[in-house]
Amino acid sequence: MFFYSKKAPDIVNLSLNRCIYYGLIVTSIMVFYAHESTLCRTKAFMKTTKNLRFVVQQHDATHMHYDFRLEINGVLVSWAVPKGPSMDPSVKRLALQTPDHALEYGSFEGILPEGSYGAGPVLLWDEGTYESIKEVDGKVLTPAQSLEMGTLEFKLHGKKLRGNFALIKTKGMRGHSSKNQWLFIKMHDEYAQTGDITKEMPESVKSGKKISKHIRAKKSSAK
């Protein structure tokens, strides 16, 4: 038999209020620690100046070019270098800053399908680590600080690219926005050399293939 009690609704409301109260506390704690975790990771990224990742991907999209990417604050900050990197300090390469990419994309080699961003063959031309060498008042800046200043100086420890390089933001040239135009320059050091390294060392550091093989594979799959 069911016995009706006027106190039942009060008990139900009390239990419900307690659930809501404790639920809000748990949610607040979770949000707090998620924020703190993100903040700690961000601070760690911002303080890092060494052992960061860099990659260079040869990319045959609308036009053949090389995507130079530096790990900065947890993403790959990227530049499209139409003529590719050079080891000759007298050569200044145009570098157009493009959207950031996830770190995972740095190991990609293959063919981006039609309809996707940057559709076409991608070859992992070089990879390695880098360290910031840009100094202000005797203190080495983080890559994020240098990026904000518009002058990045770094030492590459790659399989092909080695030594000191610079990326310098310019005021822009005809046909390109000044917001994303940079110059990619090899600095004078023991690794500097003349010649075109992209032609002398065209193979992938991942597969040993040349971009031409990926292009032929793309054409074959399109038939």
Q: Give the model confidence (pLDDT) of 33-53 as tens digits.
A: 333 333 333 444 455 678 899
Domain residue ranges in the chain: 1-47, 52-222
3-state secondary structure the chain: CCCCCCCHHHHHHHHHHHHHHHHHHHHHHHHHHHHHHHHHHHHHHHHCCCCEEEEEEEEECCCEEEEEEEEECCEEEEEEECCCCCCCCCCEEEEEEEEEECHHHHHCCEEECCCCCCCEEEEEEEEEEEEECCEECCEECCHHHHHHHCEEEEEEEECCCEEEEEEEECCCCCCCCCCCEEEEEECCCCCCCCCCHHHHCCCCCCCCCCHHHHHHHHHHHHC
pLDDT tier at 60, thresholds 50, 70, 90: very high
State which amino acid sits at residue 177.
S
pLDDT per residue as tens digits for the range 76-109: 999 999 999 999 999 999 999 999 999 999 999 9
Residue 21 has pLDDT above 50, yes or no: no
Q: Among candidates 4, 29, 207, 27, which has minimal Cα distance to 109? A: 207
Pick the closest to residue 214 from 203, 198, 199, 223 (CA basis): 203
Instruction: Return the amino acid letter for 94.
Output: L
Is residue 174 very low, low, confident or very high in pLDDT (cuts 50, 70, 90)?
Answer: low
What mean pLDDT do residues 143-168 have? 97
Q: How far is CA 144 from the centre of its chain?
A: 12
Q: Say what the pLDDT of residue 4 is.
A: 42
15 pLDDT band, cuts 50/70/90, is low
Q: Half-sphere exposure of residue 182, counting CA atoms within 13 Å on the CB side? A: 26
Q: Is the pLDDT of residue 61 over 80?
A: yes
pLDDT band at 115 (very low <50, low <70, confident <90, very high): confident
